[in-house]
Copies of this chain bind each other. A is one copy, B any other.
Amino acid sequence: MRDTRAELLAQAEVLVRGRGYSGFSYGDLAEAVNIRKASIHHHFRTKTDLAVALVRAYDARYDEALGSILSLQSDAVARVEAYGRYYLAGVEDGLGCLCAVLAIEMDTLPDVLRADIAQFFDKHIAWLERVLADGCADGSLRPGLDPAATARMVVATLEGALLLERLLAGSAGFRSTLATLCDSLKPPRTGSRNALSSGRDDTI
């Protein structure tokens, strides 16, 4: 028995991330999942309900990712790099970040949604701040680095790179930006620019 609700979420996410929130319709989604438009309302009463569910699911997947990075990587730079690699998947699939896509349409977004998105970013910034503060404490980061401000910058850089490189150089451009970002976090004179592993890690 197929899980229509899950299929709806999956396809809706692809559509929204590719063409924006108001750029996708129940009609598109119905076609993608191959059920009638009206049937979608059975699973998600309104379009806003669907969007909220989309963000919650996306957020939950990132929660898992953040946790797994902490347990797999112990070095601060490696953690940031691993975090960045989750964005890479988006570039490779030609999809923007769900929350960035929604944030663009802020002015017309329902309040619930706007709050959820803000929380999404706040959480990531807080997580990075923690990671960076730890890195400062153990000396693996450039001395004098401000964890709070740098955390904001990391999220901004990655979100921007995802937006940009999806349009321009593709994953090569994104990898270059991620490497440059990571380099700027390291203590000076370590010298060697770390070549980013080319393997794809996971999908978010």
Contacts and interface: CB of A to CB of B under 8 A. Distances in A.
A115 to B, nearest CB: 10
Interface of A: 18-23, 94, 96, 100-101, 103-108, 114, 117-118, 121-122, 142, 144, 146, 148-150, 152-153, 155-161, 163-169, 173, 176-177, 179-181, 184, 188, 191, 193
A156 B157 contact: yes
Contacts of A101: 104
Contacts of A23: 20-23, 105, 107-108
Given A21-B20, A118-B168, A161-B160, A180 B150 contact: yes
A10 to B, nearest CB: 16
A104 B153 contact: no
A114 to B, nearest CB: 7
How many copies of this chain are found per oligomer?
A: 2
Contacts of A118: 167-168
Contact of A19 (B100, B107, B148, B158): B107
Contact of A159 (B146, B149, B164, B169): B164
A151 B88 CA distance: 19
Contacts of A184: 153, 184
14 contacts: A20-B21, A20-B22, A22-B22, A22-B23, A23-B108, A103-B164, A117-B167, A142-B188, A149-B177, A152-B161, A152-B164, A152-B169, A153-B161, A188-B188
Contacts of A159: 159-160, 163-164
Given A20-B22, A121-B164, A150-B180, 19 more contacts: A18-B107, A19-B105, A19-B107, A21-B23, A22-B23, A23-B105, A94-B106, A96-B106, A100-B104, A104-B104, A122-B168, A149-B180, A153-B157, A153-B184, A156-B158, A156-B177, A157-B160, A159-B163, A160-B160
